[in-house]
Chain A
Amino acid sequence: MADSTQPLTFGLRLGAGAAATFVLALTLGTLGAVLARAGSFAALGPADWAALRFTVTQATVSAALSLALAIPVARALARRRFAGRGALITLLGAPFILPVIVAVMGILGLFGRAGLLNDGLAALGFDRISIYGFGGVVLAHVFFNLPLAVRLLLQGWLAIPAERFRLAAALGFGPSDVARHLERPMLRAVAPGIFVTIFLICLTSFAVALTLGGGPKATTVELAIYQAFRFDFDPGRAAHLASLQLALCAVTALVAARITVPSAFGAGLDRPVARRDAGGAGLRALDAGLLTLATLFLLAPLAAVFVSGLPRLAALPEAVWRAAFRSVLVAIGSTALTVALALPLALAIARRGRARMLETVGMLPLATSSLVTGTGLFLLLRPVASPGDLALPVTVAVNAAMALPFVLRALIPAARDLEADYGRLALSLGLSGTARLRFLTLPRLRRPLGFAAGLTAALSMGDLGVIALFADADHATLPLQLYRLMGAYRMADAAGAAVLLLALSLGLFWIFDRGGRADAGA
């Protein structure tokens, strides 16, 4: 990649610098504010170290399993064409964008003690199985993250130009040759980044591990932070734990950057990919089987959520609809901000060739404890304005930062290819500034940008994030309103609100993602 390194223009430098500053302020800055309030780090106890061990173990297993399962599913989606494929791809993304509690309820509808699976086992005369414990935590994390891994891998597959597959067909490549010469190099380029992303998501997991973990054996670092803040009022310990999380993030991101090998497929002409290497009946059956299993695993819990909530949808109180409107505004605001931050960052990273520091900065929000961010922001902003007045802008800013790592994951590989394939041409044509953005960058990045924007919109619809520290009665978002319904015994209405949330998240994701691939034929 070193040969494709290009000078950064002033505008790009400014944009990337501003984005990096924004991210650093929200991550390290807020941690610094908490630390300043605490005075110093407080010592950690044996329970904290046990929590750290459990957290790292479950995150490693969850990430490895999600990635390993995602590869065959993504390959099946990449080499098959069938009716409803586009809709299936959108729907398969749904678990990732669900609020945790909704997804957990869905998983339990399928795998719980009173779930369909156990009812089936009981009907057949078998003993009921319990998913609570380490297995339950990993199962839920795979349920959440498999869709993300599939989507990001699929981007990688779709980025292999059609011409390479035509050449492969002309050379008489079978599936194993395609795997060796095209697919494995692509995986070397994208898989490490995906592993790190999922590892970090699982690292900061709170509610999943707590609800399905079965007891205090399954204590995560995030819970230890929560306890330090809420019950011990020990911000020093919280800051210490949060720093450990960040250090882990930085190390993993750097290691991943080291083992990532950029793919070098060169540019194509954007013809639709015709896969002639995957025609065997056995392979076809394998792919069909894989897709059916993945669909069942990912969509049955969603169907459970849908079926239980749909009857209450029409009767939802007006306050829920108002919250839904507010959440849509937040989602759109966050999306605009994230795209504005991510584009210059991704382009700068791609142009520099080796920009590990910048890439690590982009990953930091993933490893940030939302409680520390919320508390730090609160400490920083309170002297300036009343927290209640800032509820929505703060939510927009934090959601944008939290979504940034995912967006970068989708944009960076595409931006690297763009620079490698078209960078020198653009340079020799003197194409720069807004013209380059308009005629080269945006058209070439349209597909990952659409996906990234959809992801951000959906994520910020469902994210409770820091709103709880800032919210007052009048500024509730839809996820907060859902929790309020549950807190008031109204589980049935909460199920209705969950359906609304699911529909809005998916709808926003679909609109953006669709916009990104309107002309892509995929």
Chain B
Amino acid sequence: MRRPHVSTLMMAGFLTATTAVAQDKPVLTVYTYDSFVSDWGPGPRIEAAFEAECGCDLDFVATGDGAALLSRVLLEGAGTEADIVLGLDTGLTDAATKSGLFAPHGQESTAYSLPVDWADPVFVPYDWGWFAFVYDRTKTDTVPADFEALAASDLTIVIEDPRSSTPGLGLLLWVKAAHGDRAGAIWEGLADNIVTVTPGWSEAYGLFLEGEADMVLSYTTSPAYHLIAESDDTKAAAAFAEGHYLQVEVAAKLAGTDEPALADRFLAFMISEAFQKEIPETNWMYPAVTPGTGLPDGFATLIRPEKSLLFAPEEAAAIRDAALVEWQTALSR
């Protein structure tokens, strides 16, 4: 028993050593999702860039995925340590607004490079993408041009569960936005194409890469990762005639922040060049404001849907439960 005790003590020391922070600088605490702060996400570079100009300590706190992020803030309530929450999407912002925990951003109007108008007084967008079914060009010849064609084909797909994943919820809203009352019928048609429904994006994308399905619900930007990071041009996204549903990722300031000026400064920094230029090749999404240097070369090869679909946050929240029942009924047959 003696040896493990020593290890526990060592670990305790190790912990206190890593949690020591500079005491003299103001600290801005930003809650975000896990993949944002990972060594392969935008977090580390953005932290360095902001700290170089703010004379502050930027502290990212990772909390799982986007839904976990919101539930953590709701759990903490007004006593939260967060000054900023970064990483909600429009499927979640209605619940966030209704909590009354967030304050208006007060930023001047910005010319966003979003395919839709954006005038939300509380949430500032930092990146966005279109949901799309991604496939391997060397394996799939006939690419469906809409949901009907996909349902009629014998192509296999992997999707994410709308009850546990934001892309899954995005697909649910996509079908609803594109087909309205016929959404249930579309799901029934898709039922025999669906190989499985995964808890999150990572599992679905992993299954697709292992060859378990012909297509996976991901983003139009996914092929850019393979092209730029792996020099692999075999992946492509299918363009659907109905239009593509948007995911807009946003951040907001907490009403109870003790660093309101610094929080405002961060939100302004977030839509500046220094932040936005990191987005395409770390988060693999479109930046909310296209940087002066433009997008990376690989992005020019991506499909650009002509029609973008997006429910207003309160609309998305209102139809979610009914759409979920529709989905469950169609797929449980």
A interface with B by C-beta (< 8 Å): 37, 47, 101, 104-105, 108-109, 112-114, 130, 132, 136, 206-207, 210-217, 223, 226-227, 229-231, 233, 317, 319, 329-330, 332-333, 335-337, 339-340, 375, 378-379, 382, 386, 388-389, 392-393, 396, 468-469, 471-476, 480-481, 483-491, 494
Contacts and interface: CB of A to CB of B under 8 A. Distances in A.
B40 A113 contact: no
A325 B226 CA distance: 30
Given A473-B43, A485-B40, A392 B71 contact: no
Given A226-B163, A233-B74, A471-B62, A214 B4 contact: no
A486 B57 CA distance: 29
Contacts of B210: 105, 108-109, 112, 114
B34 A487 contact: yes
B196 A216 contact: no
A212 B203 CA distance: 11
Given A214-B197, A329-B14, A490 B40 contact: yes
A438 B95 CA distance: 59
Interface stretch (B143-151, B244-252, B260-268, B325-333): B325-333
Contacts of A379: 75
Residue of B70, B71, B196, B226 with most partner-chain A CB within 10 A: B196
Given A114-B210, A214-B196, A473 B40 contact: no
Interface stretch (B5-13, B173-181, B300-308): B5-13
B71 A230 contact: yes
B182 to A, nearest CB: 20
B64 A468 contact: yes
A113 to B, nearest CB: 5
A491 B39 contact: no
A480 B11 CA distance: 19
A22 to B, nearest CB: 15
Nearest to A481: B38
5 contacts: A113-B156, A130-B195, A339-B4, A388-B19, A469-B63
Contacts of B313: none
Interface string B183-196: 00000000100111
Given A108-B212, A379-B75, 6 more contacts: A112-B212, A211-B203, A233-B74, A336-B7, A469-B72, A484-B39
Interface in B189-215: 191, 194-199, 201-203, 205-207, 209-213
A148 to B, nearest CB: 23
B161 to A, nearest CB: 6
A215 B202 contact: no
Interface in B56-71: 60-64, 67-68, 70-71
B142 interface: no
B111 interface: no
A471 B65 CA distance: 12
A113 B211 contact: yes
Interface residues of B, number: 67
B206 A486 contact: yes
Nearest to B74: A233
A72 to B, nearest CB: 32
B23 interface: no
B225 interface: yes
A231 B212 contact: no
Interface of B: 1, 4-5, 7-8, 10-12, 14-15, 18-19, 34-35, 37-41, 43, 60-64, 67-68, 70-72, 74-76, 81, 95, 156, 161, 163-164, 169, 191, 194-199, 201-203, 205-207, 209-213, 222, 225-226, 229, 284, 327-328, 331-332
Contact of B331 (A211, A216, A329): A216
A333 B6 CA distance: 9
B332 A215 contact: yes
B1 A336 contact: yes
A340 B1 contact: yes
Contact of A489 (B4, B81, B195, B229): B229
B1 A469 contact: no
A227 B191 CA distance: 22
A488 B38 contact: yes
Contacts of B169: 231
Nearest to A227: B163
A389 B19 contact: yes
Nearest to A37: B75
Contacts of A337: 8
B35 A484 contact: yes
A18 to B, nearest CB: 15
B20 to A, nearest CB: 10
A317 B39 contact: yes
Contacts of A483: 34, 202
A486 to B, nearest CB: 4
B209 A491 contact: yes
B14 A468 contact: no
Nearest to B2: A336
Contacts of A214: 194-197
Contacts of B81: 386
Contacts of A108: 207, 210, 212
B331 A217 contact: yes
Contacts of A494: 206
B4 A335 contact: yes
B212 A113 contact: yes
B211 A215 contact: no
Nearest to B10: A329
Most buried by B among A37, A213, A489: A489
Contacts of B206: 101, 105, 486, 491, 494
B328 to A, nearest CB: 5
A291 B82 CA distance: 56
